[in-house]
Structure 1
Amino acid sequence: MNLFLSPFKEKLFFSILLVLPFLSAFAQEEITKPELQEIKVDSLYREDQFYFAFTYNTLQQKPVGLKQQKFSIGLSGGFLRDMPINKNRTKAFATGVGLSLNNYNQNLAITGTAQEANYAIMDSQTSFDKNKFTQLLIDVPLEFRWRTSTYESYKFWRIYGGVKLSYLAYSKSVLNDSQGKTLIANNNDFNKFLYGLYLSAGYNTFNVYAYYGLNPILKNLSIEGEKAKMNTMNVGVIFYIL
């Protein structure tokens, strides 16, 4: 009986010795997997891929007598590709594409045709129900980003700024007064290409936004022989989504 048990115990002992290295390697692999996953997430995370903005639109360098009426609003949204440039991923470049819909309520009467439009300032004694022009723009933002983000938190400070290039896809002006309704689509005088500087800053969800156009909305705006290079400044809030 003792002779039988001794070889059995010896085999069991050597079997355990052979299995132990595999169990150790397996345990080591299980321990390092979360660490590898953590490094992978930290090295690949990106911020603020989608944006949505709501703005109040103002006209700058206006002709004498031109005043804005009511509340002129703008809506924009799009996608940006976040490209971090430092190890901590707190600095980045971003570019992408978006759409903007801008409305401007004012007392600049636009009549005539899309090929030959006429412009006049309506005084306070001239009554009208509606007078505005609308722009639909395809935007290409180019921005530099600074933030205090980490891959573990979505709440951080940010300052983003850059240049926005815009192509005018569609424009419309509507004047509704005692003479009837005048609608002009795709007025040739509207600049097809617009560009300007913008800045957004804030913490977490709430961010303020400002854009200043560097070239005129209308190429050939002339009021009683005086030319005007009217541009825009839009201020509001912007929201970012991963």
Structure 2
Amino acid sequence: MNKILPLFVFIFSFHLASSQEDTVVKESDSLYKEDQFYIGVTYNLLGNKPNGVSQSGFSSGFHLGFIKDMPINIRRNVAIGLGLGVSANSFNQNMLIDKADGQFVYSVLDENEISYSKNKFTTYVIEAPLEFRWRTSTASEYKFWRIYTGIKFGYVVANSSKYKGEPQKIKHSNIDEFNAFQYGLTISVGYNTWNLHLYYGLNPVFNSDAKINDERLQMNAIKIGLMLYLL
């Protein structure tokens, strides 16, 4: 998190400078744009799970960042958005990540044989969303319908796995078998501040070295939730 906090300061300072400029523009003419903070909460799923792997409990994602709006038509209701942000994503499931002989080992926990209260992995990501944006806004209308689609690139700056149960607690961090570079398709649809949001990962969460029962882990991230856009 020490790496992420300075990024918050940079995003906030950049937004303040940009909003001061935009205020002057909106007062003088209609050359407005929708520079926005985004704040999101998602329910995280895993696609392409291997046999025996399942999810339980609530797997959450928290997303925060800023998007620069670049209108591409005269009415300025169509734009390209380019942003920078951070996210924390947890996945509760029954795949244990442990270490043996200096190598990470992946196995499925049998709940009939082993009792445990927590088993999850978490990633901390720097995000760069690129959006094609359509909305019904005008220079004086701040409540409007929107459809934003695009692709989101991510770089995993930290990760961890935690197991709490029998016979002992297991915790690992900075596991090098996570894919550092991740990307996926996104869509946000809604009115005013509240918007439904979907992210579908196009590449696996783990790299080719991560295997379970000699089968490569091809699981991808799917995130469904709410995205708030704040001026």
**Same fold, TM exceeding 0.5?**
yes
Which residue of structure 2 lines up, in the alignment, with residue 109 of structure 1? 96
Query: Superposed, which structure 2 residues align to 1:76-87 within 5 Å?
Result: 76-87=63-74
Match of 1:225 among 214, 217, 220: 214
Which residue of structure 1 lines up, in the alignment, with residue 129 of structure 2? 141
Q: 1:204 aligned to 2:192? A: yes
Q: 1:152 aligned to 2:160? A: no
Query: Superposed, which structure 2 residues align to 1:60-99 within 5 Å?
Result: 60-99=47-86
In terms of Rg, which structure is larger? 1
Once the two structures are TM-superposed, the CA of residue 113 in structure 1 deviates from its matched residue by 6.8
- Matches of 1:116 and 1:167, distance apart in 2: 23
Across the aligned residues of Structure 1 and Structure 2, the Cα RMSD in angstroms comes to 1.6
CA-to-partner distance for each residue in 1:153-206, whole Å, 9 max, x for gaps? 111110001110100000000011212111110101000000100000111122
Instruction: Describe the shift of the 1:185–1:196 C-alpha distance in structure 2 as closer, same or farther (beyond 3 A).
Output: same
Which residue of structure 2 lines up, in the alignment, with residue 17 of structure 1? none
Are 1:114 and 1:184, in contact at CA under 8 Å, matched by a contact in 2?
no
Which residue of structure 2 lines up, in the alignment, with residue 189 of structure 1? 177
Which residue of structure 1 lines up, in the alignment, with residue 8 of structure 2? none
- Matches of 1:237 and 1:64, distance apart in 2: 30
Instruction: Describe the shift of the 1:238–1:113 C-alpha distance in structure 2 as closer, same or farther (beyond 3 A).
Output: farther
- Matches of 2:211 and 2:83, distance apart in 1: 35
Instruction: Describe the shift of the 1:201–1:79 C-alpha distance in structure 2 as closer, same or farther (beyond 3 A).
Output: same
Which residue of structure 2 lines up, in the alignment, with residue 41 of structure 1? 29
Quote the sequence identity (%): 44
Matched AA of 1:143 = E
Unaligned runs of 5+ in 1: 1-36
Instruction: Describe the shift of the 1:150–1:67 C-alpha distance in structure 2 as closer, same or farther (beyond 3 A).
Output: same
CA-to-partner distance for each residue in 1:97-123, whole Å, 9 max, x for gaps? 000100000000000179621000011
Matched AA of 2:33 = R
Q: SS where residue 29 of structure 2 aligns? A: helix
Q: 1:180 aligned to 2:168? A: yes
TM-score using structure 2 length: 0.85
The number of residues matched between the two structures is: 205
Greater share of residues in helix = 1
Q: SS where residue 169 of structure 2 aligns? A: strand
Unaligned runs of 5+ in 2: 1-24
Matched AA of 1:233 = I
CA-to-partner distance for each residue in 1:4-26, whole Å, 9 max, x for gaps? xxxxxxxxxxxxxxxxxxxxxxx
Which residue of structure 1 lines up, in the alignment, with residue 229 of structure 2? 240
Runs of 4+ in 1 over 3 A off after TM superposition: none
Instruction: Describe the shift of the 1:53–1:114 C-alpha distance in structure 2 as closer, same or farther (beyond 3 A).
Output: farther
